[in-house]
């Protein structure tokens, strides 16, 4: 029996050149395959997320899988999906994606794709979960909670120097707000005191890292879902709606973010790394 042939694209999202930002695999489908097959494909690709999308009415249904689980929200793979639709498949933005987190919009503004996601404002936590400080290897000034644990540090250098125990992070307790596992965000104010005109344009307001062993990723390179929490947190502290954000992973990535009421707009660029074909057994 002939194998099923599916298109595959690998995109570096929140990136201006290859080997930076966060890689995502994007697989357009005519119809949904069994969940076990989707998960096996994501494990085979072994990048932070594989995005699967199926045409649905005037938009698309979008799902995201890490190598170990399906997740409820993913920014970089949404950006990558919009990039593939616009640059490889001839679709015209703006796009509307139906997801587990509601309808997510993506527009194209100049060279950037701008995500429109629900904001997830955090609240302060008086008693962080046991083991959090030891897992990070440094004590934060404050701990906050939205979907994930947000650990505030006094400067960007401390965030960049963290060498966490990922197994200990994976062992932290789950919460009702994150049924597939709370991850850990480390953050600090960036070195700039004034807003950059765009990421890379002269300053950074917010620095962060994202530790996601709970969902099979030791450290996610650039995380849109983290910024749905970080942007309302920092917008209140810095008293400004627009923020230039840098995720300080080894690959690194830049996001141009704006708090717009109960929504977070996240702008970024993307680069096509590879296009190919998946051969599934018939």
CA 223, 214, 67, 20 torsion-angle sign: positive
**What global pTM score does this model have?**
0.92
Q: Which two tokens mark 152?
A: 């505030």
Indicate if 49 belongs to the active site.
yes
Which of 49, 88, 109, 142 is an active site residue?
49
Read off the pLDDT of residues 47-68 as tens digits, 9 standing for 90 and up: 999 999 999 998 999 999 999 9
Percent of the chain whose predicted confidence (pLDDT) is above 90 = 86
Give Cβ neighbours of residue 127 (< 8 Å, ≥ 6 apart).
none
Cα 76–Cα 82–Cα 116 angle in degrees, nearest 5: 65
Tell whether the model's pLDDT for residue 179 goes beyond 80: no
Best CA proximity match to 244, nearest among 271, 270, 268: 268
Read off the pLDDT of residues 110-143 as tens digits, 9 standing for 90 and up: 889 999 999 999 999 988 889 999 999 999 999 9
Domains of the chain: 4-118+268-280 (3.10.310.10), 123-254 (3.10.310.10)
Average pLDDT taken over every residue of the chain: 93
Position 2 confidence tier, pLDDT thresholds 50, 70, 90: confident
For residue 202, the model assigns a pLDDT of 58
Tell whether the model's pLDDT for residue 279 goes beyond 80: yes
Read off the pLDDT of residues 183-235 as tens digits, 9 standing for 90 and up: 999 999 998 544 444 444 458 999 999 999 988 899 999 999 999 999 999 99
For residue 203, the model assigns a pLDDT of 82
For residue 199, the model assigns a pLDDT of 43
Mean pLDDT of 6-10: 98
Tell whether the model's pLDDT for residue 29 goes beyond 80: yes
For residue 192, the model assigns a pLDDT of 59
Report d(CA 21, CA 32) in Å as an integer.
Answer: 28
Report d(CA 263, CA 251) in Å as an integer.
Answer: 27
Position 176 confidence tier, pLDDT thresholds 50, 70, 90: low
For residue 175, the model assigns a pLDDT of 64
């Amino acid at each position: 029996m002939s194998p099923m042939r599916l298109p595959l694209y690998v995109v570096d999202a929140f990136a201006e050149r290859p080997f930076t930002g966060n890689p995502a695999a994007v697989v357009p489908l005519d119809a949904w395959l069994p969940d076990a097959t989707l998960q096996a494909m994501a494990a085979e690709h072994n990048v932070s997320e594989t995005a699967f999308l199926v045409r649905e009415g005037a938009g698309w249904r979008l799902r995201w899988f890490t190598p170990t689980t399906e997740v409820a929200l993913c920014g970089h793979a949404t950006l990558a999906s919009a990039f593939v639709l616009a640059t490889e498949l001839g679709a015209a933005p703006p796009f509307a994606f139906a997801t587990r987190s509601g309808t997510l919009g993506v527009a194209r503004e100049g060279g950037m794709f701008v995500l429109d996601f629900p904001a997830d404002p955090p609240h302060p936590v008086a008693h962080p979960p046991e083991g959090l400080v030891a897992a990070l290897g440094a004590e934060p000034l404050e701990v906050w909670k939205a979907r994930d644990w947000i650990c505030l540090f006094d400067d960007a250098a401390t965030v960049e120097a963290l060498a966490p125990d990922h197994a200990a992070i994976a062992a932290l307790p789950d919460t009702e707000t994150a049924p597939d596992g709370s991850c850990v965000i480390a953050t600090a104010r960036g070195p700039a005191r004034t807003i950059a005109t765009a990421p890379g344009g002269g300053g950074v307001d917010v620095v962060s890292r994202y530790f996601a062993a709970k969902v099979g990723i030791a450290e996610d390179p650039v995380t849109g879902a983290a910024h749905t929490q970080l942007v309302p947190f920092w917008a209140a502290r810095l008293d400004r709606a627009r923020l230039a954000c840098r995720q300080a992973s080894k690959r690194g990535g830049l996001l141009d973010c704006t708090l717009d009421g109960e929504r977070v707009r996240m702008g970024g660029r993307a680069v096509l790394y590879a296009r190919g074909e998946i051969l599934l057994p018939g």
